[in-house]
Structure 1
Amino acid sequence: MLRFSPIVSRAGSQIDVDQLHIHSILSNQGKKIVVDHDVDQDEAVMLALGYKQEFKREFSLFSTFCVSFAVLGLLPSIASTMNYGTLVVGASPLPWIIAMIGVGSVALSLAEIASAYPTSGGLYYATKQLAPQEGSIGAFLSWTVGWSNWIVQITGAPSIDYGCACMILALRTYQNSDYSPSKGEIYGLSFGLMIIDSFISSMPTKWIAWFNEAGSISNMAFLFVVFVMLLAGNDRMHIMDVDTKFNTAGQAFAIDNQTDWPNGVAFLMSFLGVIWAMSGYDSPFHLAEETANAQLFTPRAIVMTAGSGGIIGWAFMFVIAFTIVDVNAIATDSLGQPFITYLAQVLPHNMVLAAAALTIISSFFMGQACMVAASRVTYAYSRDDCFPLSFLWKQVNPITDTPVNAVWGNSLIGVLLLLLIFAGEVAVGALFSVGAIAAFISFIIPVFLKITVAHNHFTRGPWNLGKLSRPIGIVSVAFVALMTPILCIPYSKGSDLDVLSMNWTVAVYFGPMSISTLWYLVSARKWFKGPKSNLDESYFQSMDNSEYISGLEQAVYSKEGAENGVEVSEKQSR
């Protein structure tokens, strides 16, 4: 059990914003916040950032990591994105290794920002604080980051549930070769999964934490089980009539370019599978307002998710590379799900069913975790009136203490996005690439500001990169700058390119972003100034002779206490 000592021991004290080690929308204004109850470190930071503490902090480091690892969903992610990696350059694990250098750099930079701005809308909030304070550039960049990150969130659950539905129906086709799912059946099943996710995401925070802990533990266990099944149950010599149980190193690491582009470009294009599979590591940021010890536990959960996901994901791809038999057969499979076809090349019939079932269950947990993270982002941005009908989406349900309206608003948008199913596989596939490019752009703008205009005044949180902050940030920005146009390139070109093979990322991402930019230029620039405090004037009453929180009275973390999640005051530690 985490124990936290209150910073303010009695009601009637004030929090001096400028004496807290936080740079916020209330900084440098001489603000002193009146409190009428005991306030711990998390709530003090929240108030200093300009927001009321409206959620219960019932996520520990482990449960926060569990949500993000569930969002990461390595097993279903790798299964759902085989056609964005394996079917581009073959099964080689090399793209995963190299892509993780860039992905890991972005994750580390993001973790440092999360420690400094532990709010649910942290990326958008941080952008405004890190941007130049003169003029309106900060508000515009904040607006852009907010909308880009929101697109990531609202496409997450639909894309995962679509992949889950395809896997379920592919399993039926595997059992009955005469069956071929219609688009209506795929949509209906995806729709049903979205509704179930929404109900679960509307529960109280403690219940959601328990559910995601169970989901993440299951996800890790199932990933290990399938991993072992592929090694121990490998029967490809009998199933596919090949001479060896495993491929040679030369076969496993070979690049098999199946695009119309040169090998180098195709190699970079295959990074989409890695980027999308690893895109859930930012989830702890969006749960910061429900996480205890948020300035430490939030960045730690981000790093834990990216680190463990990168290592485990590479190991899984390594096994696939050494066991896969015929990439071309997978590319032209009749089941509608390349991962099921791959399993059928390697495992006996019953083991295919078992491995697929475990993947489907993991996919369900992943979709639900994405729905939770998305609702918190919608709530945070609506709190600053960024969206139409923001007054609805920023309400916290008095029974569950969760943003139920935001959950169902996102769900409605998700089921509408799933209508892309009827436009064809390539169109609905844009949900995957859109999520990748939208995430990268929303991540990298505050990172770019941190290493440039804000380099000398960025107020670091207790978890930071020290002297490595700028070098890692430069690698992050360079990687995203390289990958952004790559993610928009279609796999075909010239006479082979048609409407069905077009990369729809440009339309599905830059279309809505263009509309949001036009809205800002025409209207929002007149009233949107960036994140705004939801503390009313009663929080800032003047109190003479009151007890202030000085720098020495702030709660800090001793080395031993931080490792055990125990908060102690600096006075106590001396």
Structure 2
Amino acid sequence: MASVTSHRKRSVADEPVTSVLPGGDVPYDPNHEFSADEEVLAALGYKSEFRREFSLFTTFCVSFAVLGLLPSFASTLYYGMGYAGTAGMTWGWIVAMVGIQSVAMSMAELCSSMPTSGGLYYASAVLAPPGWGPLAAWITGWSNWLGQVTAAPSVNWGIASMMLAAGSIQNPGYVPTNYQTFLLTTFIMLIHGVMSSFPTKWLAQINSGGSTFNFLALIIVIILIPAGTDRVARGLPKFTPSSEVWGDIYEGTSYPPGVSVLMSFIGVIWTMSGYDSPFHLAEECSNANIASPRAIVLTSATGGIFGWFLQLVVAYTVVDIDDVLESDLGQPFAAYLIQCMPQKMVMAILSLTIIAGFSMGQGCMIAASRVTFAYARDDCFPLSKYWKVVNKTTQTPVNAVWFNCVIGILLLFLIFGGDLAIGALFSIGAIAAFVAFTTPIVIRVFFVGNRFRPGPWNLGKFSIPIGVVASGFVALMVPILCLPSVTGADLTPDMMNWTCLVYGAPMLGSLIWWVVSARKWFKGPKVNIEHLMLGREGNVVDGKGNDSASDAVEVDSKAVQELPSDPKPAELK
């Protein structure tokens, strides 16, 4: 399929593409002038199917919208404040961000090397030891999909709860019911399903506006809370003394203070779990192997800094943590605002948070649909042939959008199981996402080492140390986030942490499916097994004009054209 010449250097497009997509689609067209982005994707074994209408800024906008600092913080305040109090919110956030930023930077390096919609799943397959690629892809894919498909319903549940809490503030006699919360959340899901089916150009514009609003709303709230607090009028100092804010650990669990602080990280991890979106949008982004990893790091860093500022203003102004957690409003953030703000200002802040959360939920649904499309493209799901269809009119995976929307609505029936049951969606999102984030990082650090061929955005000599920190952080946090808040005789079914069951059962089911059936037919991504992912240390995967490779290889278009119409995909490793 390839012939060796010596008259020119090799570019990524000239790598021998040994895999063929279902239906005989070869990711090489001798009659088409490849752009640099198309070269990179073709060398990874895929052909471009989307319009590349996302830039660095618009990709960052989607990612920041999915991150949704303000609504994410509001939705998870119960965990951040309830487990360790203000100490967990202040210095605990800083500690958590060291691990989270390490994960983000290691992921960005993988994204630069492998800018595909499959993202983490593709990276796990390619980097795994010989014979283990399909299983690594299977585990990463299912874990990532569980995190993605639970994101929109958990966000939208939080937004619906805030909307109903606002109604309770206006009318103290009104108490929201589970039935009303379910219907309102479902309605929001349906709206997002329609919006996420729009063409890519529309989505980029919508998310640019939504992300801009998210950022402005966050700044306004960070300024408004300390400026507008009426604690003094209530006979309190304007701000809680720093010794109490930073030093007092609220006894919200039955564990030692250090463990309680670690348990409070669920709020940080879930809030900071949206920065992988640029990876999944890489096939729709221009200059993807540079712009996408930059968007990942920019999202995580920006979120970490401004998220900490938001944590500080709340920690310094909260009056009574017990009242926040036990309020009849059913929404801790609304209960907190009532403690320290005039009612009109409370309604203004809640309104900003609700609008920002609506944008966040829509961004989550977009990212989830791209993950579903990428995995269905490689036959990871039942009925994959339907979910991998790209709509001819919008050029977006509309079927994948509605598949996820239906699954999300079904998950919302957990609302009728109580707060702990629906709260499991947040735990799933935190654990599932970070297991998927870290699996390819662990493989890259401990199995590939210096054989990894980085992209143009890379960490250089710091790659492995940062990867070790990222891997260690997630290995510590996965069991911590499964702990119940109480122990001994107090541990009743209604106080149990159901994360192990709600996340573990689907993952166990996927592993049983693997052993019984999938291992016989699932071969992982249809990758080019001779691509530049593994090679000599220091070589870079790039677009046209790559001078890092010493051998010159030229694609023989005639050989490509003579491939059988429906060849068997190359088996991975």
SS at match of 1:63: helix
1:23–1:336 Cα change, 3 Å: farther
How many residues matched? 520
1:553–1:496 Cα change, 3 Å: closer
Please state if 1:353 is matched with 2:350. Answer: no
SS at match of 1:58: coil
The letter of the residue matching 2:98 is I
SS at match of 1:433: helix
Are the equivalent residues in 2 in contact too, given 1:24–1:129 (CA < 8 A)?
no
Deviation at 1:552, TM superposition (A): 11
1:42–1:498 Cα change, 3 Å: same
CA distance in 2, matches of 1:103, 1:195: 32
Gaps of 5+ in 2: 1-7, 20-25, 530-540, 548-573
CA distance in 1, matches of 2:124, 2:442: 10
SS at match of 1:177: coil
Please state if 1:486 is matched with 2:476. Answer: no
Question: Of 113, 125, 129, which residue of structure 1 is paired with 2:126?
Answer: 129
Are the equivalent residues in 2 in contact too, given 1:17–1:32 (CA < 8 A)?
no
Question: Of 266, 280, 294, which residue of structure 2 is paired with 1:286?
Answer: 280
Please state if 1:60 is matched with 2:50. Answer: no
Aligned equivalent of 2:23: none
1:425–1:398 Cα change, 3 Å: same
Aligned equivalent of 2:114: 117
Please state if 1:388 is matched with 2:382. Answer: yes
Please state if 1:271 is matched with 2:261. Answer: no
Question: Of 387, 398, 409, which residue of structure 1 is paired with 2:403?
Answer: 409
Aligned equivalent of 1:199: 194
Please state if 1:82 is matched with 2:77. Answer: yes
Aligned equivalent of 2:361: 367
Are the equivalent residues in 1 in contact too, given 2:121–2:140 (CA < 8 A)?
yes
Cα displacement string for residues 442-468 of structure 1 (whole angstroms, at most 9, x for unaligned residues): 111100111111113211000000000
Deviation at 1:21, TM superposition (A): 8.9
SS at match of 1:54: coil
Deviation at 1:555, TM superposition (A): 4.3
The letter of the residue matching 2:544 is Q
Aligned equivalent of 2:245: 252
Are the equivalent residues in 2 in contact too, given 1:421–1:427 (CA < 8 A)?
yes
Aligned equivalent of 1:20: 12
TM-score, with structure 2 as normaliser: 0.88
Are the equivalent residues in 1 in contact too, given 2:18–2:528 (CA < 8 A)?
no
Cα displacement string for residues 364-387 of structure 1 (whole angstroms, at most 9, x for unaligned residues): 000000000000000000000000
Question: Of 310, 321, 328, which residue of structure 1 is paired with 2:322?
Answer: 328
Aligned equivalent of 2:235: 242
Deviation at 1:95, TM superposition (A): 1.1
Deviation at 1:91, TM superposition (A): 2.1
Please state if 1:104 is matched with 2:101. Answer: yes
CA distance in 1, matches of 2:402, 2:422: 21
1:383–1:244 Cα change, 3 Å: same
CA distance in 1, matches of 2:313, 2:155: 23
1:389–1:477 Cα change, 3 Å: same
The letter of the residue matching 2:12 is L
Aligned equivalent of 1:554: 544
Larger RCO (CA under 8 A, 6+ residues apart): 2
Aligned equivalent of 1:567: none
Cα displacement string for residues 523-556 of structure 1 (whole angstroms, at most 9, x for unaligned residues): 1100111101599xxxxxxxxxxxxxxx999246
Are the equivalent residues in 1 in contact too, given 2:39–2:543 (CA < 8 A)?
no
SS at match of 2:494: coil
The letter of the residue matching 1:223 is L
Deviation at 1:191, TM superposition (A): 0.1
CA distance in 2, matches of 1:286, 1:505: 25
Aligned equivalent of 2:469: 475
SS at match of 2:86: coil
Aligned equivalent of 2:500: 506
Are the equivalent residues in 2 in contact too, given 1:383–1:534 (CA < 8 A)?
no
Are the equivalent residues in 1 in contact too, given 2:116–2:280 (CA < 8 A)?
yes
Please state if 1:440 is matched with 2:434. Answer: yes
The letter of the residue matching 1:104 is Q
CA distance in 1, matches of 2:63, 2:257: 33
Aligned equivalent of 2:553: none
CA distance in 1, matches of 2:64, 2:467: 24
Are the equivalent residues in 1 in contact too, given 2:40–2:542 (CA < 8 A)?
no
CA distance in 2, matches of 1:109, 1:552: 18
1:493–1:42 Cα change, 3 Å: same
The letter of the residue matching 1:47 is A
SS at match of 1:244: coil
The letter of the residue matching 1:212 is N
1:131–1:270 Cα change, 3 Å: same
Deviation at 1:26, TM superposition (A): 4.0
Deviation at 1:262, TM superposition (A): 1.0
CA distance in 2, matches of 1:503, 1:409: 28
Deviation at 1:37, TM superposition (A): 1.7
CA distance in 2, matches of 1:513, 1:531: 19
RMSD between aligned residues: 2.1
1:237–1:21 Cα change, 3 Å: farther
Are the equivalent residues in 2 in contact too, given 1:155–1:435 (CA < 8 A)?
yes
SS at match of 2:486: coil
Gaps of 5+ in 1: 1-15, 536-550, 558-574
Are the equivalent residues in 1 in contact too, given 2:13–2:43 (CA < 8 A)?
no
SS at match of 1:35: coil
1:242–1:374 Cα change, 3 Å: same
CA distance in 1, matches of 2:39, 2:397: 22
Deviation at 1:258, TM superposition (A): 1.3
1:25–1:449 Cα change, 3 Å: farther
1:388–1:17 Cα change, 3 Å: farther
Aligned equivalent of 2:212: 217
Cα displacement string for residues 397-443 of structure 1 (whole angstroms, at most 9, x for unaligned residues): 00000000000000000000000001111001000011110011111
Please state if 1:147 is matched with 2:142. Answer: yes
**Runs in 1 of length 4+ with deviation above 6 angstroms?**
21-25
1:527–1:171 Cα change, 3 Å: same
Please state if 1:317 is matched with 2:311. Answer: yes
Are the equivalent residues in 1 in contact too, given 2:13–2:543 (CA < 8 A)?
no
Percent identity over paired residues = 52
Cα displacement string for residues 495-547 of structure 1 (whole angstroms, at most 9, x for unaligned residues): 11111111110111010001111111111100111101599xxxxxxxxxxxx
CA distance in 1, matches of 2:81, 2:50: 42
Are the equivalent residues in 2 in contact too, given 1:22–1:49 (CA < 8 A)?
no
Cα displacement string for residues 458-506 of structure 1 (whole angstroms, at most 9, x for unaligned residues): 1100000000000000000110110010010010111111111111101
CA distance in 2, matches of 1:380, 1:435: 19
CA distance in 2, matches of 1:258, 1:32: 55
Are the equivalent residues in 2 in contact too, given 1:148–1:513 (CA < 8 A)?
yes
